[in-house]
Amino acid sequence: MKRIGIYAKHNNDDAAALAGEVRTFLLDRGCEVFCEDVLAAALDAGQGYPPGAIPPLVDLIIVLGGDGTLISVARLIGELKVPILGVNLGRLGFLTEIARDETFDTLEQVLAGNFSVSTRMMLDTVVSREDRVVGRFRTLNDVVINKGALARIIDMEASVNGDYLTTFRGDGLIIATPTGTTAYNLAAGGPIIYPGLHCLAIAPICPHMLTNRPIIVSDEDVIRVQVRFQDEEVMLTADGQVGMPLEGGDVVEVRRSSCVALLVKSPKRDYFEILRTKLLWGER
């Protein structure tokens, strides 16, 4: 791998400093380095590139920051299948598996081709209004429908492959990939799903009926949700980072994307160790 892209968490001096060290490390080994424009300006590193222009140019992407930064980069890659090496600058992340002090040892191995990746499913979501498409989103974690702070309960009529599932009444609904089940889904009482499984989780947020529970469906299924409300503030959010306001009668259709995210695995820890560390399993 000789063409490497670097993204760093914005407005974070620690991320910028490490990015400078990583850039020097890579240049010393004959690599061509592509930094996003904000980072290039911070490092006085010459030409920078718009974030979306880097993936087609590189063989590997390095993300310095946290899970949120990595998720935003994963959405830019599309069909390209460029592997992402995530370095976490705080506590160990679910997705950014590499600790800061492991950065350069891990990079040596990756540049030599000694690494493996975890393939993570993504979702494509289409929002339709009166048979007209008004929004499209690609996500790594989840798609969430939720109401504003002062809004009343909303009705969400859900179907799977055209078969009526139920009408959820509550504060909202989460549709999560296995990767996303450790995010909002987990806080809403949904299950943790191992990333390699081929399924999706549908979890209601504060359902009006306590018998409405999370359900797991195949990743080959198409999930359709029609929202019903009047004069309320309801939002659709994708990965908790982008989204749009919904109107009563809007239809949200979610399916597995043809795109995937390839995450470089830590050579020092596995998925279950990360779960134990993040969720404090075994502590008293």
Spell out the domains of the chain, with CATH numbers in brackets: 3-116+265-279 (3.40.50.10330), 122-258 (2.60.200.30)
- What is the reported pLDDT for 209? 87
Strand ranges in 130-221 using DSSP code E only, listed in sequence order = 132-139, 142-147, 154-160, 163-176, 199-207, 215-218
In this prediction, residue 231 carries a pLDDT of: 78
* Residue 27 in tokens: 């240049």
Contact 100, 65 (CB under 8 A): no
Q: Report pTM.
A: 0.94
**pLDDT at residue 148 is higher than 90:** no
Q: CA 113, CA 173: separation in Å to the nearest integer?
A: 41
Predicted local distance difference test score (pLDDT) of residue 162: 97
**Where does 165-269 have alpha helices with state H?**
184-187
What would the pLDDT profile of 56-112 be if each residue is shown by its tens digit?
Answer: 999 999 999 999 999 999 999 999 999 999 999 977 689 999 999 999 999 999 999
Has 67 been annotated as catalytic? yes
Of 14, 37, 59, 67, which one is the catalytic site residue? 67
Confidence at residue 151, expressed as pLDDT on a 0 to 100 scale: 74
Would strands 251-264 and 215-218 be described as parallel, antiparallel, or unpaired? Answer: unpaired
